[in-house]
Amino acid sequence: MAFTFDGADDSIVYSTSTDFLQVGDLSWFWQQFIPPSVKTSNLIMTMEGGTGEDEVENSVLFLDILGANNSWDIRYIHEFSTGTNEANTFLTNITNSTWVNLGLTRNITANTVKLWMDGSLIDTFNYTNDPAVGATTTVPLRIGLRGDGTFDGEHSIANIALWGSAIPDNVMLSLTKGFSPLFYPHGLILYDKLIRDSLDVIGGKVGAITGAAVMEQPSLIYPALSQVITGTAAVVSGRIMSSLARDGGLAGRGGIAGRGGGLAG
């Protein structure tokens, strides 16, 4: 059951951590649902030191929803210097009340940010300046609401994941087709299904939830174990059958076809 943000004060906040101070390569995956009534400029997520313009308050990753009714877009921002934005609006044209799988990668060597949706690359943003946050060493991860109470999110979200690397294009393409982030554990920092509660199954982080509305989200495909065909089972099975046949079982002395009173005995 995904979490629904009411556009007022609902949020999920993960405590400050060095894990969220990602000024380098990163990747972010999430499932998103946007209702018809969504407000503009409402927050999906942010990792930032504060909401002012000092360098220590910069956002290393900020995503919100823009666009128009029934054609919603995703805006990407990171900041450098004294709060200067590198920003791009990805034209996702998300329709109302439809779940989509979204993925974003940032590569600071190539100076690119890519956004995928449901198995397709939406666009590549070529930026100039890498994120920078001055002396800050830890920041929180906030979903649905900025730290100062602005950018009130009005949408639903599930299955969030954060990697400290730009995962390969074909992998993100797979994930946005509906595969679990657990299929790519390399550099995976946080994975929280956000199903009724908030518990990161990778790093053990727990999000503090304000507001508790939930709704169903689409399923993902999860990893499976190999299947072992054991010889023991076959041997035991053979012994049982042998015993049954010998001592009163299916074809034995007292069984279905045996000599001692079985159905056909």
Q: Which is nearer to another protein, 68 or 229 (CB)?
A: 229
Site for another protein (CB under 8 A): which residue of 168, 254, 260, 261?
Answer: 168
Shortest Å distance, C-beta 225 to another protein:
6
Restricted to residues 15-74, the positions that interact with another protein (CB under 8 A) are: none
Three-class secondary structure of residue 173 per DSSP: helix
Shortest Å distance, C-beta 103 to another protein:
13
CB atoms closer than 10 angstroms to residue 21 = 18
In sequence order, the β-bridge partners of residue 43 are 64
Site for another protein (CB under 8 A): which residue of 179, 193, 194, 217?
Answer: 179
Phi-psi region for residue 142, left (φ > 0), alpha (ψ -120 to 50) or beta?
Answer: beta
Site for another protein (CB under 8 A): which residue of 65, 139, 157, 171?
Answer: 171
Residue 239 φ/ψ, nearest 5 degrees: -65, -45
H/E stretch holding 191 reads strand 188-192
Amino acid identity of residue 188, one-letter, is: L
Site for another protein (CB under 8 A): which residue of 50, 177, 201, 265?
Answer: 177
Question: x/- site string to another protein, residues 225 to 254, per CB under 8 A?
Answer: xxxxxxxx-x--------------------
Site for another protein (CB under 8 A): which residue of 92, 174, 198, 217?
Answer: 174
Give the neighbor-by-neighbor strand order of the sheet with 59-68.
84-94, 71-80, 59-68, 42-48, 139-143, 11-17, 208-210
Q: CA 180, CA 172: separation in Å to the nearest integer?
A: 10
Count of residues of this chain found to bind another protein when the rule CB under 8 A is applied: 25
Site for another protein (CB under 8 A): which residue of 68, 170, 204, 263?
Answer: 170
Amino acid identity of residue 130, one-letter, is: D
Site for another protein (CB under 8 A): which residue of 35, 50, 147, 178?
Answer: 178
Residues that bind another protein (CB under 8 A): 168, 170-171, 173-175, 177-179, 183-184, 186, 221-232, 234
